[in-house]
């Protein structure tokens, strides 16, 4: 074997090292991103708890109708979209391209429905007079914390829908692999997981009770 051939083999050997944890590096990177994002949401939710505890006049504005009903529908939509995303992952792993793209399309539609319901919920709050630094009910910090937590989540949902569109297009054209679909699915499930904490802490802990 010539020297150049040897160096090529050596050069490639580093790239061919077995992946730690026996998973593709793309998937590992997505997990690391998810964990760092979990800390971002954790910090926001803890800051929300801090402000809420330190404010004796924290508003409890969420009525059964429309807010809690909307949020419940949004939860069902998001959990269902996680299920359809699993359909895309399964289909892509078994090489059923058109089926995988169809499941991705359904997930995108559900994500878009969630985002629209979320924007409608925001519009209702704004109509009732909630702004970033004022609201008609109590602590002026309510609006800032509500819009930043739900806004960051909404941003994740919208980014996820766009990412799914890009992945579906690339996967159907053959430029992206089933691994890309799986990594996107991990992100989407994480978005679902965060919502499971946002709903009880932001909405359900602040429901309006009849006097």
Closer of 76 and 155 to other proteins (Cβ): 76
Helix (H) / strand (E) element for 196: namely helix 178-198
Q: Does 49 bind other proteins (CB under 8 A)?
A: yes
Of the residues 6, 9, 29, 46, which one makes contact with other proteins according to CB under 8 A: 46
Q: What is the distance between the alpha carbons of residues 5 and 13, in angstroms, rounded to a whole number?
A: 12
Using CB under 8 A, pick the residue from 8, 83, 116, 162 that binds other proteins. 83
Quick check: 112 and 161 in contact, CB under 8 A? yes
Among 22, 95, 133, 211, binds other proteins (CB under 8 A): 22
Q: Is 57 in the site for other proteins (CB under 8 A)?
A: no
The reply on whether position 84 binds other proteins by CB under 8 A is yes
DSSP letter at 68 equals I
Single out the segment in contact with other proteins by CB under 8 A; choices: 76-84, 110-118, 150-158, 161-169: 76-84
Site mask for other proteins (CB under 8 A), range 156-195, x = bound:
------------------------------x--xx-xx--
Which range, of 10-18, 79-87, 127-135, 145-153, touches other proteins by CB under 8 A? 79-87
The verdict on 90 binding other proteins (CB under 8 A) reads yes
Q: Coil, strand, or helix at residue 62?
A: strand
SS3 207: strand
Residues present in the chain in total: 211
29-64: b (≥16 Cβ within 10 Å) or e: ebeeebeebeeebeebbeebeeebeeeeebbebbee
207 binds other proteins (CB under 8 A): yes
# binding residues, other proteins (CB under 8 A): 46
Can you name the residues that pair with 207 across neighbouring β-strands? 62
Residue 67 within binding range of other proteins, rule CB under 8 A: no
């Amino acid at each position: 074997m010539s020297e150049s051939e040897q160096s090529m083999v050596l050069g490639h050997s580093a790239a061919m090292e077995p992946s730690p944890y026996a998973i593709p590096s793309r998937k590992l990177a997505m997990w690391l991103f998810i964990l760092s994002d979990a800390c971002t949401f954790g910090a926001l939710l803890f800051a929300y708890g801090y402000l809420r505890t330190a404010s004796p006049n924290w508003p409890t504005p969420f009525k059964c109708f429309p807010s809690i009903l909307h949020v419940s529908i949004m939860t069902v939509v998001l959990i269902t979209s996680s299920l359809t995303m699993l359909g895309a992952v399964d289909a892509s792993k078994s090489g059923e391209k058109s089926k995988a793209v169809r499941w991705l399309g359904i997930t995108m539609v559900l994500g878009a429905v969630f985002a629209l319901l979320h924007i409608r919920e925001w519009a209702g709050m704004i109509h009732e007079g909630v702004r970033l630094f004022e609201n008609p009910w109590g602590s002026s910090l309510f609006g800032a914390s509500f819009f930043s937590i739900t806004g960051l989540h909404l941003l994740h949902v919208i980014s996820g829908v766009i990412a799914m569109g890009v992945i579906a297009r690339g996967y159907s054209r053959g430029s992206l692999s089933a691994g890309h679909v799986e990594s996107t699915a991990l992100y989407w499930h994480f978005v679902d997981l965060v919502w499971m904490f946002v709903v009880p802490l932001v909405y359900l802990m602040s429901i309006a009770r009849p006097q």
